[in-house]
Structure 1
Amino acid sequence: MNKNVLIGIVLIALAGGGYYQFSVKPAQEAAAAAAEAAKAAADAAAAEAKAAEEAAAKAAEEAAAAAAAAATDAAAATTEAATDAAAATTEAATDAAAATTEAATDAAAATTEAATDAAAAVTDAATDAMAALDPANFDAAKVAALIDASALDDATKAALKSGVDAAAADPVKLGEALAAVKAALGM
């Protein structure tokens, strides 16, 4: 497989793992699950690495940069994406059991570090997203940015932003509007 597929597997695993941990587990358990997802992604990347140690390190750097860019999207991922990521991770882990080379081992170490950093970025982004949707920390610009970055259709985005803007002056209505945004984003 080429490095783009490796990057895709790592991104899917990280996005799915980040969503699952954020939605289902408390913050403490989310960090542990992110480390497991990062390890699984690292093992998959190690098994598929056919290039020399320099090429594997470069792919790990690119994966870390791409994962950091995808951190915002991971906060809005759906349950279906988490299921697909789990299937992809399982398939990659099965493939990883078949390959054992010295270059793959070196790639696993580099990828583990990058994936751990990316998982931390995903967790931070998810925490920031939840803080922005707390009435006590209300910031209209951040809430609008979260809605715009989501995969929702334009009509739903407009309705959510309109509801938040209309409720901004009333704390009770603001709480209800932010709860509607959380529900729409799957949080």
Structure 2
Amino acid sequence: MTTDRHLALMALMNEVTAPAKTYDHAVRRAAAAASDSPEYDRAVGRGNAALDDIERPVRLWVASNAPQPIPGLCNVPSPDGAFLCALTPHSSEELHADRPREDAMPNGRRMVWQTPVELPAGFERHTCITVTCAACGYRYDETEYDHHFPSLGDAVDGAVGSGWDELKDGRVLCETVDEKHEELRRTVGVVDQDEVAA
């Protein structure tokens, strides 16, 4: 799975992680400041600089890594029939025979049962993350409905960007100030978003 192209993409992701966090932090700072204040101008400047720091390595990566054709998939069903093998075509006898779903390592490559079996018309499969306060169980909802995020990072950023606290163990707390919430803030500790963005 880790071809040279994948390794280059992983390196790119690592390179843009810090400026992406800086940008998110700058957006939160700008949103909290008056639009005609020096704080707003500083936050906008910092955000624009972070975007420049993201653009440079992305342009270099695109120039250095020509698009590759997406290979066909094996499509052999997993033992439970729920997924299809997502590896490139290969010998079923070599890669699938007598191999448990949880641990198939043909030629050092893990079997990838990740392509879901096609659903009947009218059904869609979604994977998402919702957020709940660690102290009171309040569900994060910017509207009257639960908010669904595509990843853990997006979920944390969304909650923190709305004023929630990120605890040092990875959980989050809503803005409620009472004994139970304050106990977690004191005992577990809150992530300093200024240090994260730095």
Larger radius of gyration: 2
Question: What TM-score bracket applies, with the shorter chain setting the length?
Answer: 0.3 to 0.5
Greater per-residue helix proportion: 1
TM-score for the superposition, normalised by structure 1: 0.33
Q: Which has the higher contact order (CA 8 A, sep 6+)?
A: 1
